[in-house]
């Protein structure tokens, strides 16, 4: 950081303030994590200077002797980590990756099935105002209102009725494990391609905690920065038969020069995830999530699907009389960061929904375990049960900070 400090004091102060926020607060947004110092170094390295349109061995510009090796290393590590036949490590992030998959394997206007956004799906899974929803005919499936879980018989019924060309499975706000085999069986029955978006659970899958769709699905994509704990970015994995179409859709179909500094960061993160310690990390993420979920339930919180199988917990705050937006902002004030979220069949709007979404990847990276989850559940409960008690919130903020400083953020010195 010394270059920034010398050159741009204004920005330096902003980054320092964010460092302090990250160190002194509890990060519960389930899609966030802390990368290692090594990943950050790669992302801030001189690799940002290089253009490398094309793929290793087939580039448009010269000077690729080092870049080719770096990208190949990232590809080989990702293949090993997930057991994938083919991997493209160039997608800039999750949304481009999903668009690239559709562009590779479908025609505009084709029918795709995906989980509805307010039920736990993603904007790239067919939100009507997004590119996915405008370019393709998305048929949304839903969770069962009583259980909060995906009703696979309903998915099959819809598939038989609409005969989609592709079925998308994978979610941003669904706390339960996915029956990949059943999705594949349904897709086979109607002749659809299968696409899994494992952005949220990739680290749990890589760590052996959840079953992988890779053996069954045509295409599997993931962002690299959530439970996988790498840099901002994404990868696409697919069966060899789709490799050419996927690569062409990424470049030159939808992207230009790959971000090789980020690809180097991905290579480092995959290397970290291949180590035995990562399995322990994945296991603890789930243990922490299940423990936190139980503690919240004991305090009268209503969880969508009544619990979690993953890193993610979705809370319906209706019975607490506090909307998600207010809960998010009051918890923010005490140093607990999570996000407001719609719950299935939410009568409220996405900007002012009934729920909050939280998860344990980041706190687990800091080394927090069940005892800390007890304290977190207690603080959440105290804030939400005493939403206007500023004095109590001030006291909790101090307690949060005191605990956080005992659990340093990797790669962050303050
Ligand atoms: N924004 C991500 C999340 O928070 O789940 C999904 O893209």
Please identify which of the residues 223, 224, 310, 337 carries the catalytic annotation.
Answer: 223
Tell me, yes or no, whether 258 and 302 share the same domain: no
Measured distance CA(152)–CA(210) in Å, rounded: 19
Nearest to 93 by CA among 249, 225, 237, 244: 225
Among 273, 300, 324, which residue terminates a domain? 273
Find, among 99, 142, 141, the residue nearest to 124 by Cα. 99
Contact 362, 338 (CB under 8 A): no
- CA 45 to CA 38: how far, in whole Å? 10
Residue nearest to atom 2 of ligand 1 (CA): 31
Residue 22 located in a structural domain? no
Question: How far from each other are the two terminal CA atoms of the chain, in whole angstroms?
Answer: 12
Compute CA distances 199 → 17, 105, 147, 167, 324, whole Å: 29, 20, 24, 16, 24
Here the CATH number for the domain that contains residue 108 is 3.40.640.10
Q: Is 51 designated active site?
A: yes
205 plus 320 within the same structural domain: no
Q: How confident is the model at residue 14 (pLDDT cuts 50, 70, 90)?
A: very high
Band (44; pLDDT cuts 50, 70, 90): very high
Mutate to test the pocket of ligand 1, among 95, 118, 122 (most ligand atoms within 8 A of CB): 122
Query: Which CATH number characterizes residue 355's domain?
Result: 3.90.1150.10
Structural domain of 55 = 40-273
45 in the same domain as 188: yes
Q: pTM above 0.95?
A: yes
In the annotation, is 197 catalytic? Answer: yes
Report the nearest-CA residue for atom 5 of ligand 1: 172
Residue of the nearest CA to atom 4 in ligand 1? 31
What tokens does 112 get? 């795709």
Query: Of 226, 295, 330, 397, which one is the catalytic site residue?
Result: 226
Catalytic residue check, 3: no
The CB density around residue 3, as the number of other CB atoms within 10 Å, is 9
161 and 295 assigned to the same domain: no
Is the same domain home to 101 and 209? Answer: yes
Mean pLDDT, residues 192-211 taken together: 98
The mean pLDDT value for 300-324 works out to: 98
Among 273, 293, 327, identify where a domain stops: 273
Expressed in angstroms and rounded, the spacing between residue 172 Cα and the centre of ligand 1 is 6
Residue 414 pLDDT: 60
User: What residues does 234 pair with on adjacent strands?
Assistant: 223
- Taking the CA atoms of residue 370, residue 314, residue 155 and residue 98 in that order, the dihedral angle to the nearest 10 degrees is -90
Q: Output the residue whose Cα is nearest ligand 1's atom 3.
A: 31
Per-residue pLDDT, averaged over 216-242, amounts to 98
- pLDDT confidence of residue 205: 98
Residue nearest ligand 1's atom 6 by CA: 172
Any domain includes 351: yes
Query: Cα of 360 to ligand 1 centre, how many Å?
Result: 15
Residue 231 and residue 239: Cα distance in Å, rounded?
25
Last residue of a domain, one of 215, 247, 273: 273
| 208 shares its domain with 110 | yes
Please indicate whether residue 232 is annotated as part of the active site.
yes
Instruction: Tell me the per-residue pLDDT of 339-384, one tens digit each, with 9 for 90 and over.
Output: 999 999 999 999 999 999 999 999 999 999 999 999 999 999 999 9
**301 with 262, same domain?**
no
Question: Do residues 157 and 242 share a domain?
Answer: yes
Whether residues 307 and 262 share a domain: the answer is: no
Q: How confident is the model at residue 31 (pLDDT cuts 50, 70, 90)?
A: very high
Domain assignment present for residue 28? The answer is: no
Sign of the CA dihedral 44, 49, 55, 57? Answer: negative
What pLDDT score was predicted for residue 152? 96
C-alpha of residue 228 to centroid of ligand 1, in Å: 14
Query: Which residue among 27, 71, 118, 197 is the active-site one?
Result: 197
Query: Ligand 1: residues within 6 Å at CB?
Result: 31, 94, 122, 172
The residue-averaged pLDDT of 317-337 equals 98
Question: 412 falls in which pLDDT band (50, 70, 90)?
Answer: confident
**Are residues 90 and 216 located together in one domain of the fold?**
yes
For the chain, give the mean pLDDT.
Answer: 97
Residue 18 lies in a domain: no
User: Where residue 118 falls among pLDDT bands split at 50, 70, 90?
Assistant: confident
Catalytic residue, candidates 51, 80, 151, 287: 51
Considering the domain architecture, whether residues 370 and 268 belong to the same structural domain is answered as no
The yes-or-no verdict on residue 1 having pLDDT over 90 is: no
Q: Does 17 reside within a domain?
A: no
173 C-alpha vs ligand 1 centroid, how far in Å? 8
Domain membership flag for residue 413: no
Q: Can you tell me the distance from the alpha carbon of 63 to that of 51, in angstroms, rounded to the nearest whole number?
A: 9
pLDDT surpasses 80 at 413: no
Distance 31 CA to ligand 1 centre (A): 6
Tell me the best of 29, 91, 171, 200 to mutate to test the pocket of ligand 1, counting ligand atoms within 8 Å of each CB and taking the most. 200
Instruction: Give distance in angstroms: CA of 177 to centre of ligand 1.
Output: 17
106 and 241 housed in the same domain: yes
Specify if 29 maps to a domain.
Answer: no
pLDDT for 114 equals: 97
- State the average pLDDT over residues 407-411: 92
- Does some domain include residue 30? no
Total structural domains in the chain?
2
Quick check: 222 and 98 in contact, CB under 8 A?
no
């Amino acid at each position: 950081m010394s270059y920034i400090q010398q050159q741009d004091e204004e920005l330096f102060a902003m980054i320092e303030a964010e460092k302090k926020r990250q160190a002194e607060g509890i990060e519960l947004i389930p899609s966030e994590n802390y990368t290692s110092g090594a990943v950050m170094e790669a992302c801030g390295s001189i690799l940002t200077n290089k253009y490398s349109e094309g793929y290793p061995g087939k580039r448009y510009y010269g000077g690729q002797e080092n870049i080719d090796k770096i990208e190949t290393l990232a590809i080989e590590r990702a293949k090993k980590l997930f057991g994938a036949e083919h991997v493209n490590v160039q997608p800039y992030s999750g949304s481009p990756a999903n668009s690239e998959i559709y562009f590779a394997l479908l025609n505009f206007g084709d029918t795709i099935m995906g989980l509805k956004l307010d039920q736990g799906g993603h904007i790239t899974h067919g939100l009507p105002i997004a590119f996915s929803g405008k370019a393709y005919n998305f048929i949304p499936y839903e969770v069962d209102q009583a259980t909060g879980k995906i009703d696979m018989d309903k998915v099959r019924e819809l598939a038989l009725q609409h005969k989609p060309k592709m079925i998308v499975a994978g979610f941003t706000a669904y706390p339960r494990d996915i029956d990949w085999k059943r999705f594949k069986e349904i897709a086979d029955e109607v002749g659809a391609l299968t696409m899994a978006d494992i952005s949220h659970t990739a680290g749990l899958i890589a760590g052996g905690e959840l079953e992988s769709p890779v053996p069954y699905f045509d295409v599997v994509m993931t962002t690299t920065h959530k439970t996988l704990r790498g840099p901002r970015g994404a990868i696409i994995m697919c069966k060899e038969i789709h490799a050419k179409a996927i690569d062409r859709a990424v470049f030159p179909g939808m992207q230009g020069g790959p971000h090789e500094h980020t690809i180097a960061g991905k290579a480092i993160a995959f290397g970290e995830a291949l180590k035995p310690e990562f399995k322990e990390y994945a296991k603890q993420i789930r243990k922490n999530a299940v423990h936190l979920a139980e503690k919240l339930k004991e305090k009268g919180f209503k969880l969508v699907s009544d619990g979690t199988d993953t890193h993610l917990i979705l809370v319906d705050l209706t019975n607490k009389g506090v909307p998600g937006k207010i809960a998010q902002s009051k918890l923010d004030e005490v140093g607990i960061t999570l996000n407001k979220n719609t719950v299935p069949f939410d009568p409220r709007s996405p900007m002012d929904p009934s729920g909050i979404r939280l998860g344990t990847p980041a706190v687990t990276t800091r080394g927090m375990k069940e005892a800390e989850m007890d304290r977190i559940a207690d603080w959440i409960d105290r804030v939400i049960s005493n939403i206007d008690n500023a004095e109590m919130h001030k006291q909790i903020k101090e307690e949060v900070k005191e605990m956080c400083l005992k659990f340093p953020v990797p790669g962050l010195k303050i």
